[in-house]
Amino acid sequence: KEDLAGMLYDSLRNKIMTLADDVIVYPAHGAGSACGKNLSKETVGTIGDQKKTNYALRADMTKQEFVKEVLDGMPPPPQYFAKNAMLNKTGYDAFEEVLKTGNVALNPEDFEAMANHEEALVLDVRPQSDYIKGHIPNSIFIGLNGQFAPWVGALITDLKQPILLVVPEGKSEEAVTRLSRVGYDNTLGYLEGGIEAWKAAGKDVETLESISAEEFAKRVKTQNVNILDVRKDGEYQSSHLEDAQHFALDYINQNMGQVDKNKTYHIHCAGGYRSVIAASILKARGYNNLVDVAGGFGAIKNTDLPTTDFVCPSTL
C-alpha cells in the first residue's frame, strides 16, 4: 500500500498539478465508493479548485506526509475485489447462461421450497420503503435504488452463494445482471408476483418499525435509547450524535457481538438506505428489537439533538 501511495504522490505532482488551473476534472469515483476514503459528492471541478480544497494536493506536502495522510483511516478493500480479480484470470460462466438460469419466475411454493432446499439467501432488492412495510422473514435488504453492487460485494462473502430475489415488477433482469457484474452468478430465480403473491399464498410476512427524525428526537429526550450509527468511519468521525454507538455496516458481520439481542436499537445511517440494510441483517440473525430512523443523519441534524462538532472529512 505504501508503494502504491508513493506512486500516487508522484503521479499527482508530475502529471496533475502541472496542469493549468482552469482544466476541468471529472472524478472516476464518487461519494460512497470503496475505491477511496471520504470521496466528494461533486461530479465536476477544476484543477484550481482541487489545489485549494483537496488535502492531497497541498503544495508543501512531502511524500512521507502524503502516504501517511492517504493511508490513515483507509478501510480495507471489499472482499469481492480480490475474488473478482481471480475470476478475471480464471474465467467465469457466460452471462447469457447466468441470465437464463437466474431470471426465472418462481411461484411462492417453489420459491420457499428452493430457499429451504438450496440454503439460498433471499435478497430483497425493492426500495427500502417497500421492505419496511412487508418482507419475507430472514430476507436481506439491499435495494437496487442505492449502492447495490458494492454493498452486495461487501456483505455477501461467498460469490457462489445461492440467491433468490424479491424484486420490483420488471426489475428481475436488472437485478441478475448487476449481481453478475460483481461475480455473483448463482441466482436461482425471483418471486413471481412479488410480496403480494407471497401474502396471498398465506406465507408469513414481517415488518420493520421506521420512525421520523422528529419522533426519534422525542424518544431520545424521554427514554433511554440505544443508538447505532452504521455510517462509515470517516462519516462518523466528521460528526455524530453524542450518545451513538458506531457500528459500521462495512463490518457488521465481524462485529455482531457488539450488540445485545435483549436491547432495542434505533438505527441510522446518512440518508436511510444503509440503516435498513443493517436492520435486515440483524433481523435475520435474531435481533428483533430494531427501529429504523428514516432520513438518517441528514434528517437528525435538523432536530435539536446534540451532535459532536463537525470536522471536515478532507482533514481526517
Taking the model in full, what pTM does it have? 0.78
| pLDDT of residue 173 exceeding 90 | yes
Lowest mean pLDDT among 25-34, 50-59, 139-148: 25-34
Give the pLDDT confidence score for residue 310 in this predicted structure.
72
For 81, phi then psi, to 5°, come to -55, -55
Domains of the chain: 2-71 (no CATH), 80-200 (3.40.250.10), 209-315 (3.40.250.10)
User: What is the C-alpha to C-alpha distance for residues 42 and 155, in angstroms, rounded to an integer?
Assistant: 27
Nearest to 114 by CA among 162, 169, 177, 172: 162
pLDDT 10s digits, 190-244: 999 999 999 999 999 999 999 999 999 999 999 999 999 999 998 999 999 999 9
**Cα 228 to Cα 246: distance, rounded to the nearest angstrom:** 6
Instruction: Using alpha carbons, select from 228, 231, 235 the residue that is nearest to residue 316.
Output: 235
Collapsed DSSP state (helix, strand, coil) of residue 265: strand
Summary mean pLDDT of the chain: 92
pLDDT band at 1 (very low <50, low <70, confident <90, very high): confident
pLDDT for 259-316, tens place per residue?
999 999 999 999 999 999 999 999 999 999 999 999 999 999 999 999 998 776 554 4
Element at 145 (helix H, strand E):
none
Output the pLDDT for position 237. 92
Q: Which three cell numbers stand for residue 23?
A: 482544466
* Rounded Cα–Cα distance for residues 209 and 132 (Å): 7
Residues 166/125, Cβ–Cβ less than 8 Å: yes
What is the three-class DSSP state of 254? coil
DSSP state of 133: H
The tens digit of pLDDT for each residue in 63-121 reads 999 999 888 877 667 666 666 666 666 666 778 898 999 999 999 999 999 999 999 99
CA–CA dist 278, 296 (Å, integer): 13
Residue 118: which of 194, 205, 206, 189 has the closest Cα?
Answer: 189
pLDDT digits (tens, 9 = 90+) for 22-36: 999 998 877 666 666
pLDDT (average), residues 182-190: 95
